[in-house]
Structure 1
Amino acid sequence: MTRPPRRDPRGLARAWRWTEWAILYLLLPALIAAAVDPAARLHAVMHAIGLDPVLHIAEKPGRLIFPLLLGTTAIIIAALLLDRSFDKSQLWGFQRTRRDMPRVLIFFPANAALLTAAAWWLATQTPVLPDDAFFRLPRERPDLMILICVFYPVFSAYPQEITHRVFYFHRYQCLFPNPTAMLVVNAMCFSWMHALFWNPYALGLTLAGGLLFAWTYQRTRAALAAGIEHAIYGLWTFATGLGWFVYAGSIGSPPP
């Protein structure tokens, strides 16, 4: 079946598209970050406007973050499948992924070395991470590292590529027709999603990752390609010790 041509929204429809983008990718992450803020800076305001249920759930961030991510992903996939203008192959894109994997693997060693150097420096030369944080997870908790390797790609990396790459590029390409602007703004939105961790390292790591993953998706239009790349870098980040900055259990806690 031939897909109907896409028509860019105009007038009120375009204004609504901008509003929708701002709610989903600016306001919602800010609301979640405020809810899990260990300093409770905006909790009084949230209480005043009737957001106590959100604050209650956010007392244990893991109860809020993962159900929200997986629930949002399920809704977005359903919406994309019902959208006749959407190329369903972008949800997977096996052939395009296979063609792009050599590039992903060629880039990985150099980038992994940079992540490793950053983890070593933060653990041994600064008070940001404890001295033994460097590769602590695979050394001391190989069982947990294995579980992360199994579940992280499926329940975290891939869903994030659906919400922040597949849906984002399909729905908001009309707002950012310049490819470079689209890539940069997408990476910034991806980084902003991690504001809930309340540390600058999470924002920096995910901004760099967002640029890389958005570039991969922009090249391939394959969620699988971006998801695999996201998983590879995410797992290495956890292994080196940098994963503490983007771990739900770290919110409001000092490094172990």
Structure 2
Amino acid sequence: MKADGLWPGEVLDSRTSAVAWRDWLPSPQQVSNAIQLRFEEGTGETADLADSAPAISMRQGLGLVIVAGLVAGSLPFLVHWIAAARAGTTVPLWRLAQAAAEGQGTGVLAETLQRIAGLEPAFFPGWLAAGLSALGLWLSQPLHWLTLWIVYGLGVLVVLKLQGATTTLQRFYAITSYAAVPLVLTFFSPIPCLGGLARTVGYLWALVLYVQAIRALTGFHLGQVIVAVLVPTAVVLLAGLLSLSALALSLLRILF
């Protein structure tokens, strides 16, 4: 018998498994405190209560974003699979045909896209092709959330540093990961009326939580945090406008 009380090859008990899960996810109490905006005052760097919202590692934040993305996409996954399977095609083609039908009516483009969507998949039965494409979209959602969390968060952190923030990158990403939790409300997106309301509430709640988490982490006042949150978005929009302007000027030079 080993020193830890386990024989070689013995399966770990549920308590050990719970500890392993705790390494990758915050506790339910931490999540509950965060979504209620119960963050400790100050930087949160010295939080010593295991269930306080700031007492979270970056690895737990990473796991939280992934799990939240999977939960949010589970109902849309089923709805997309069923709808595309009925059409006998993949989800992207089904979406394309739906968009064309709604926007173009009975035009040539709409009819062409609907014909393409109605073609049988070359290698798989329609229901399987629909399921695989829906699964791909479902699994890609957490990756999109992770990308937004990391890239956008880096821009926010840079602005905070320029304002004098002393927090570390790990602590910043850890505490801002809670903003993914309200986005679970997008689970209801496929439901008419309720889906739009749920998305709106989820986005606003996530934004408020994100701002409050940064305030608790840095000790900054609201104006400083709002500047940090808005500047990266403004930079992206400005870069997009400049790119479009450059493209338009290039086309005008070619044409005239």
TM-score, reference length from structure 2: 0.30
TM-score, reference length from structure 1: 0.30
Structure with bigger helix share is 1
From the CA coordinates, give the structure whose radius of gyration is larger: 2
Q: Which of the pair has the greater relative contact order for Cα pairs under 8 Å at 6+ separation?
A: 1
